[in-house]
Structure formats: C-alpha cells, structure tokens
Homo-oligomer: A and B are copies of this chain.
Amino acid sequence: MELDRDPGTLWSWITGLGEIGGHGDGGVTRMAWTPELRAGNAWLRERYEELGLSVAEDAAGNLFGTWEAGEGPPVLVGSHIDTVPRGGRFDGALGVHCGLEAVRLLQQAGHAPRRPLRIVGWMDEEGARFKTPTFGSRAFAGHDLSGLSGQTDDEGVTLPEAMAGWGRDFERLPEARGVDGIGAYLELHIEQGPTLEERAIDIGVVTTIVAVLGLRVRFEGVANHAGTTPMDRRRDALVAAADGIGRLQEWIATQSYDTRLTVGIIEAEPGGFNVIPSACEFTIDARAVSETAVAAVEREVRGVLASVGEAHGTPCTVRRTHLIDAVPVDPAIADAIEAAAAADGATAVRMPSGGGHDASHVGPHVPMGMLFVPSRAGISHNPLEHTEPGQCHAGARVLARALATLTG
C-alpha cells in the first residue's frame, strides 16, 4: 500500500488546533470542561465531518468519529486533546491528529475497512483542573467515578457543575461505558522521554505500560538543639533520609534501564532552621515492567531503608500509597505495529511506556497497542514540547498501516 508522505495536512492540523487555547509560543492551555476544550472539540468535530465520519459524544464528554464500514465491533484509535496548563501541542493531541491522518491516508489509498474504524478524543486525560486524570477513558472502561463528585477546581467550581455547563449530567456517567462494544484500541503518543531521539529511532513499539508503585517513607529521629548537640549524639531523621535516598540511587543505577525510582516530595519536621529534624518524610514513585519487577523494587527499598534507619538510630516506616498494575500490550498488535513500521521503512524499537495513558484503562478490556514517536529532548507538559513534522507523519503512516491490518 502506497501512502502519501507529505506531512502538510497533518502539520496544519497540529498548528491549527494549537491555536485554540494557545499562548503564541507553542504553549497551550485546554483543560477539561472549559470553553477552550469546547472549542477544541468543535474543531475536532469539523475534521471528523470533513472525513465523512459519523460523530458522537458520550456521557463523559468523549468525542468519537466513526468511519462506518464493514461490520463487527469497531477498531478504536485516538488519544486526548486536553492539556495541562501551558502544556504543548503534541502530548495527547498528536494521537488524535495521527488518527485523523491515518483515516485520510487510508481513504486516499482506497483502503476498504472490513470493520468500522473509530477515532476518539478522550475527555480530561490530564486531570489538571479537577485532579481527575484519564477521566474519559475510565468512564468508557466502566469505572465507578461517583466518588469524584466533590472534586473542585481552583475557583471552587465542582466537577458536576462544570459538566452541567457542557450539558452533561454527572449522574449519568455510567452510561459512558463503551469498552464492551469495541474490538481493539490503538494509541499513538509522544514518547515523553529521550530514548527514541537519542537513538535516532522513528517508532517505539510499546510492549507494556509499566506498573507504578507509590510509597511514603518516614524516618523518626529525635529533635534537638542544632548548637548544643554534638554530631555523634544525634538521631537526625533528615540525615538518615538523605543517606537512604543516596543508597537507593546507587542501587537503582545497577538495575534494568526500564526500572525507575523518583523522590518527588520531601519534608523535615519540625522544620526549624536550628532544630535537628525529629522526622523526615518523602515519597517514592517506582516503576518497572511487571508486578514482579516492581515488587522486587519494593523489597529492596524496604530492606535498604530499614538498615539505614537502624544505622542512624532513626526507625523507618514505609507505607504503600498505591500500586497500579502493569498493562500488557496485545502481542499481535505489537507485531502489527512493528510490521507496519518495517513496511513504511521506519526504524522501530520495542520499549515499555513509563507513563500511564488512556490505553491503561482500555487495555485491560480489549486487545490494545501503543506506539511512540520521538519527543525532542524528552520534554513534555511544556511549551517546548516538539516533534518534527516528518517524525509526526511517520507515526501517522505506521498507525495507518497497523489500522489497515487490524481492519483488513
């Protein structure tokens, strides 16, 4: 199958949608249930209509465009067009743009799908306004979201109020469950990491969405006077924490390239300039390709920190705050994406997705696949987020070829 290799149309969509909620410097703010996202959805609806797709919005605000063709459950492809505040034009949106371009290319190439092909723009993947990430895809997957009714934005507007402003009823969210009616799900996303760019590879074929472990660590020491307490008489919880963080860094450096550990938040108590800390708490975000791998990280963290606590006379407790299972990609879809890359002359590498995506919630229900395109310097959630037009279009073509296989 010959596919047009001109990125012009795709790029015009990227820049066009980027002006909606745009700051003029590449930065974009289109948060959930705002006029900016509503304008973005209107833009998307126009593209759907231009391509002859039938348009539908569900009870969660997910916006679908269906190439009604063939029969059976549709193949779903897409991502999200909401952003974080001052995010970029690629995180999420590129997956929707490439879905559109894939349909355009397949139509141009005369592809006749034997199953319907449906594009989706998920509502509120970022969750930046109401702390409700992957809202739309969770509703689509049938999650119970009733506990989110009290979520408020910075202005005190509640989520149900914001939905009502769109003509959506929070109480009717369960009607958004739609995962049972589709046959497969594909998502293209920017890598949000440096690997593809550094290795000059066109396509990342995602093998799994990693497991995410959240821990809260607390060392308990003894508060004392910074001036009168000799160094060798201290039980300093912050010194213990620093030692523990250092040791975990040394250990993690010896582990798999795909295993990650991050301390994002730290606090010392009582937090006085001249008081030896009586306690130090910090968070750990650990990621690995499977539950087994992440359990090994947890065991090591607990072991290392317990021995550090003992050495400093500052007992350590480690509390698990969350554990999100890894979501494996369907092997046949990964193979299809890899074959599509080869057919298009693109280089590809298999890699895990270190971040969660809408695919994390759809994947447990239907065969799911994901592909990455390079992110310049790995930057995302930032106006500097960038992927070259040619790299974007390579992704769209590989996506089109994979969709041709799945709907062929």
Hey, which bits of chain A sit against chain B, CB under 8 A?
Answer: 191-195, 210, 212, 214, 224-233, 236, 238-239, 241-243, 245-246, 249, 252-253, 257, 259-268, 271-277, 280, 283, 285, 287, 353-356, 378-381
Contacts and interface: CB of A to CB of B under 8 A. Distances in A.
Contact of A228 (B193, B253, B264): B193
Contact of A229 (B193, B236, B243): B193
Contacts of A354: 225-229
B263 A272 contact: no
B264 A227 contact: no
Nearest to A214: B273
Contacts of A192: 225, 228
Contact of A266 (B266, B283, B285, B381): B266
Contact of A231 (B245, B252, B285, B381): B252
Contact of A262 (B233, B276, B379): B276
A153 to B, nearest CB: 18
A88 to B, nearest CB: 13
Given A264-B272, A267-B267, A233 B378 contact: yes
A264 B221 CA distance: 12
Given A241-B242, A285-B274, A229 B378 contact: yes
A263 B380 CA distance: 33
Given A266-B266, A267-B267, A272-B264, A242 B246 contact: yes
A154 to B, nearest CB: 16
A262 B245 contact: no
Contacts of A355: 225, 227-228
A246 B250 CA distance: 13
